Chain A
Amino acid sequence: EPEVTQTPSHQVTQMGQEVILRCVPISNHLYFYWYRQILGQKVEFLVSFYNNEISEKSEIFDDQFSVERPDGSNFTLKIRSTKLEDSAMYFCASTEVGNSDDGYTFGSGTRLTVV
């Protein structure tokens, strides 16, 4: 079954450093998303991406965040200057179309720990 893959599975970084989280969505999917989940809390929407541009973003997705699709397969989330409160599980997801009967397919996540 096709899956969304994320790397790395765990990233530890020092406060103020830049991190790039990588995702390979399912190949025929056109819509890509980043969500984050602080330990023990709800899953929060960060950003959606379609046709090489951001289609929607939340209040959490401020100027320190950016997304990019540098080639035909990767979808990245960059955090420019990490803060302690950025520590969370970051999930990438993709869908074939915007309103999909198949729901969102999530990757297994990257656990980001900012120290």
Chain B
Amino acid sequence: QQPVQSPQAVILREGEDAVINCSSSKALYSVHWYRQKHGEAPVFLMILLKGGEQKGHEKISASFNEKKQQSSLYLTASQLSYSGTYFCGTEDYGQNFVFGPGTRLSVLP
């Protein structure tokens, strides 16, 4: 079952912060985050495997709340290069992996 992402779209000015949420109705083994720029393939950002885990990648970090079956992606001091569509991907204990519908992020100068 597809995870839910919110918001669907967000517009930021350079330097502003954003949070993208991903939640599932199923118990999750892991959560992946990907960024896709227009016309390109999704690019892997990070995977979170354990409840309570947090990971960082430059100024992009994420957390995984296993009990709530949700993950959040944090983008701080956004840069123009952060623009794109962010997909979470959730994997359940049956090794079923499914992408969320995506959150379109636009960073303006």
User: Hey, which bits of chain A sit against chain B, CB under 8 A?
Assistant: 35, 41-45, 56, 91, 98-109
Contact = CB atoms under 8 A, between A and B. Distances in A.
Given A99-B91, A101-B47, A42 B99 contact: yes
Contacts of B98: 45
User: Looking at chain B's contact residues, is the secondary structure mostly helix, strand, loop, or mixed?
Assistant: strand
A42 B49 contact: no
Contacts of B46: 103
Interface residues of B, number: 26
The 6 lowest CB-CB distance pairs between A and B, nearest first, are A103-B44, A106-B41, A43-B99, A42-B101, A108-B41, A103-B47
A103 B62 CA distance: 15
Contacts of A42: 2, 87, 99-102
B30 A43 contact: no
Nearest to B5: A42
Given A45-B99, A104-B44, 19 more contacts: A42-B2, A42-B87, A43-B36, A43-B87, A43-B99, A43-B102, A44-B99, A56-B95, A99-B91, A101-B49, A102-B44, A103-B32, A103-B34, A103-B44, A103-B46, A104-B34, A106-B41, A106-B43, A107-B41
A11 B45 CA distance: 29
For A35, A42, A43, the residue with the greatest tally of chain B CB atoms inside 10 Å of its CB is A43
A43 B102 CA distance: 9
